[in-house]
Amino acid sequence: MLSSKRTLLTFFLAIAKIVHYEALLRHHDFFVKEASYTRLCKTKNILTVNGQFPGPTLNVYRGEVIYVKVHNNGRYNITIHWHGVKQPRNPWSDGPAYITQCPIQPGDSFDYKIIFSMEIGTIWWHAHSDWSRATVHGAIVVHHEPGTPYPFPKPHQEVPIILGEWWKQDIVQVLEEFVASGGPPRDSDAYTINGQPGDLYPCSSQDTFKLTVVSGKRYMLRMVNAALNEVLFFAIANHSLTAVGADGSYTKPLTKDYVVISPGQTLDCIFEANQVPPKGSYYMAARAYSRTNSIVSFDNTTTTGIVQYYNDSVSVNTAPLFPFLPHYNDTNAAFDFLGSLRSLDPTFYPLNEDKTQIFSTISINTFPCENSKCFGPNGTRLSASMNNISFQSPSIDILGAYYYHISGVFNTRFPNVPPLYFNFTDRDLPLFLQTPKQATQVKVIDYNSNVELVFQGTNLVAGLDHPMHLHGFNFYVVGWGFGNFDPKKDPLNYNLVDPPFRNTVLVPINGWATIRFRASNPGVWFMHCHLERHLTWGMDTVFIVKDGKRSEEHMLSPPHHMMRC
Ligand SMILES: *[C@@H]1O[C@H](CO)[C@@H](O)[C@H](O)[C@H]1NC(C)=O
Ligand SMILES: *[C@@H]1O[C@H](CO)[C@@H](O)[C@H](O)[C@H]1NC(C)=O
Ligand SMILES: *[C@@H]1O[C@H](CO)[C@@H](O)[C@H](O)[C@H]1NC(C)=O
Ligand SMILES: *[C@@H]1O[C@H](CO)[C@@H](O)[C@H](O)[C@H]1NC(C)=O
Ligand SMILES: *[C@@H]1O[C@H](CO)[C@@H](O)[C@H](O)[C@H]1NC(C)=O
Ligand SMILES: *[C@@H]1O[C@H](CO)[C@@H](O)[C@H](O)[C@H]1NC(C)=O
Ligand SMILES: *[C@@H]1O[C@H](CO)[C@@H](O)[C@H](O)[C@H]1NC(C)=O
Ligand SMILES: *[C@@H]1O[C@H](CO)[C@@H](O)[C@H](O)[C@H]1NC(C)=O
Ligand SMILES: [Cu+2]
């Protein structure tokens, strides 16, 4: 009797635990397949995960390990990257095609082991092959262990807000046309909020994303910029936003009327439903931040969603109020927000000692046209580089080549400094500087060394803001500024107290940014501009972080199902 009671109790405890974890499954299946979607009055097939656009949100606890089996039921090669997940010692499941794996071919599957560590809040997942990430993406929400409070008042509801970019054309065609032309890509036709363009676009008002709120409650927006090529401003009319997290790390609360989010970045923002009756309804809206010269065009449309109060009879027939958004080219507004984010983490360490220092230019470039039919400036073919090396994607993955000692795939000569110092941000630069070298060059880094990397934007071809993303790490953004980096003066102003801890830094147009991280994660880690067109053009490199001495400082062995190219 007693024993059966005890069994029963154990049983109920087990049930309670199962129920608690039910929503947070450790094994997931992602079926990559085409599905038909209608946007902007036009129906087309897009690549999706499980037929959903945006794809499913993964909910996990901090420090968990989960498995996602990706079944490629589509027509194209694909890989998935877990953006912002450090994957300690496990580059095998990081995802970028030909960097850490061969793509999953149609009909095949691959089981990703995703190792979470210190990430908290919102990060995301997306395809990392060709331009499939346009529609193959979704949020990852990393929750606290049960019972641990947030470092801010608990929101009433948490809502994913995934910002995307939509083309009427098939994205495979957009990419092919772009590569063939040598010019810039065709601009997108719309931005989207949770897959919907919103009612400023034709045929879209029916399905505009709506968030119904209760007066007096607090809401947390779990925001991802999944757009391919544009940094975005976002705001909600009459409601300020308080950022409390960025790129899977808490920030000191930062309250603004608008936020800025680059491709690759995530933000956790809280707003209060604080309007008094008649409460009305309010647009949330996003549009591009794109400052450049006339060579670069961009999609200047605006996507909207609606914040609607419960039980509000007044607003049903009145137009929602529109928020203030800074002008497209308002660099000061963009960096007023980005430059004010501060890390909350009290364990910050400044990484001052024994630094490996790298100074890398990031540039748009041109090649002479091979067939006199190129649409870059003056008939050239556009390109991009870091330290004048335009990264050439190999046909055997770099991780496999490194692990199995296959020579001829890459070399380790990525330079610590640019080949030439010039006035990087000058208005007029000589044309001979524009042509880069093409190569597959990586940077090898000792285990546990402190790395300091200064990105210097240049005004070659067109100065632009570049969101630079590093796999395998978050880094501290200790400084940034406009113009040329001054190695004597600028380090004196570094924030070595509470710099933001990010995985993607927006380097200001014709300016610089300095990041620091400890290379405590052995493996092969891609570093690239998260504007998809610049990634394709070669604004990329790879860090190989060597194994440490002890076995627990070694890269894990490849899983037995790892495919080889
Ligand atoms: C797909 O991946 C395989 C394996 O790497 C490769 O041989 C093939 O060329 C790829 N196909 C395309 C269309 O890129
Ligand atoms: C909302 O904001 C607009 C413009 O920013 C302002 O004119 C209006 O008074 C505000 N409405 C409320 C209800 O706060
Ligand atoms: C957007 O760009 C188009 C084409 O360049 C232009 O005609 C239009 O005026 C622009 N709209 C806005 C709101 O700037
Ligand atoms: C909406 O109004 C109904 C009826 O007055 C009330 O029962 C309900 O609680 C209200 N809902 C909210 C979310 O305020
Ligand atoms: C931004 O655009 C406005 C309107 O097109 C223009 O007047 C202004 O000079 C631009 N500012 C910068 C910094 O390019
Ligand atoms: C570099 O170029 C900028 C923009 O043309 C100019 O203002 C600055 O004076 C130049 N710096 C030097 C050192 O020549
Ligand atoms: C990049 O390298 C090419 C080829 O060596 C050279 O022509 C060009 O001037 C270099 N550009 C810069 C900015 O260093
Ligand atoms: C195009 O050619 C003209 C004339 O040679 C030159 O002034 C201009 O800088 C070139 N532009 C680019 C982006 O190469
Ligand atoms: Cu870029």
- CATH, residue 285: 2.60.40.420
Distance between CA 450 and CA 225 in Å, rounded? 29
**Same-domain status, 328 and 405:** no
Is the predicted pLDDT of residue 5 greater than 80, yes or no?
no
Count structural domains, the chain. 3
Lowest mean pLDDT among 25-39, 269-283, 386-400: 269-283
Query: Across residues 224-247, what is the average pLDDT?
Result: 98
pLDDT in tens, 71-102: 999 999 999 999 999 999 999 999 999 999 99
* pLDDT-based confidence at residue 354 (cuts at 50, 70, 90): confident
**Stretch 305-332: mean pLDDT, rounded?**
86
Residue 412 shares a structural domain with residue 546: yes
Domain co-membership, 36 together with 127: yes
Both 82 and 168 in one domain: the answer is: no
Shortest-distance Cα residue to atom 8 of ligand 2 = 238
Residue 564 lies in a domain: no
Q: Is 77 in the pocket of ligand 1 (CB under 6 A)?
A: yes
In a domain, 222, yes or no: yes
When mean pLDDT is compared across 25-34, 314-323, 341-350, 446-455, the lowest value belongs to: 314-323
Nearest atom, ligand 8, residue 461 CA:
13
Task: Tell me what pLDDT residue 11 has.
Answer: 34
Looking at the domain assignment, is residue 345 inside a domain? no
**Domain-terminating residue out of 93, 119, 143:** 143
Do 125 and 171 belong to one domain?
no
pLDDT at 29: 97
280-306 average pLDDT score: 92
Q: Please report the pLDDT score of residue 293 as a whole number.
A: 72
Q: Helix, strand or coil for residue 485?
A: coil
Contacts (Cβ under 8 Å, ≥6 apart) of 145: 61, 62, 63
Whether 208 maps to a domain, the answer reads yes
Question: On the CB side of 48, how many CA atoms lie within 13 Å of its CA?
Answer: 15
Instruction: Determine, yes or no, domain membership for 346.
Output: no
Give the per-residue pLDDT at 452. Answer: 97
CB of 277 closer than 6 A to ligand 4? Answer: no
Q: Are residues 360 and 448 in the same domain?
A: yes
Residue 5 lies in a domain: no
* Residues spanned by the domain of 316: 157-338
Residue in 380, 286, 292, 368 with CA at minimum distance from that of residue 329: 292
Query: Is the pLDDT score of 14 beyond 60?
Result: no
Task: Report the pLDDT value the prediction gives residue 16, as an integer from 0 to 100.
Answer: 37
In a domain, 560, yes or no: no
Is residue 6 pLDDT above 70, yes or no?
Answer: no
State the average pLDDT over residues 160-168.
98
CB of 396 shorter than 6 A to ligand 1: no
Choose which residue among 293, 421, 424, 426 to substitute to test ligand 6 binding: the one with the highest number of ligand atoms within 8 A of its C-beta.
Answer: 426
- 442 and 494 assigned to the same domain: yes
**Is position 176 within any domain?**
yes
What is the 212 CA–ligand 4 centroid distance (Å)?
13
**Could you tell me if 293 and 189 lie in one domain?**
yes
Mean pLDDT, the chain, whole residue set: 93
Within this chain, do residues 139 and 171 fall inside the same structural domain, yes or no?
no
What's the whole-model pTM score?
A: 0.94
Same domain, 181 and 120: no
pLDDT at residue 9 tops 50:
no
pLDDT exceeds cutoff 60 at 10: no
Are residues 139 and 161 both part of a single domain?
no
Strand order in the sheet with 58-61: 58-61, 137-143, 121-127, 80-83
Of the candidates 143, 170, 204, which is a domain's last residue?
143
Distance CA(288)–CA(262), nearest Å, equals 10
The pLDDT tens digits for 415-463 are 999 999 999 999 999 999 999 999 999 999 999 999 999 999 999 999 9
What is the C-alpha to C-alpha distance for residues 124 and 89, in angstroms, rounded to an integer? 20
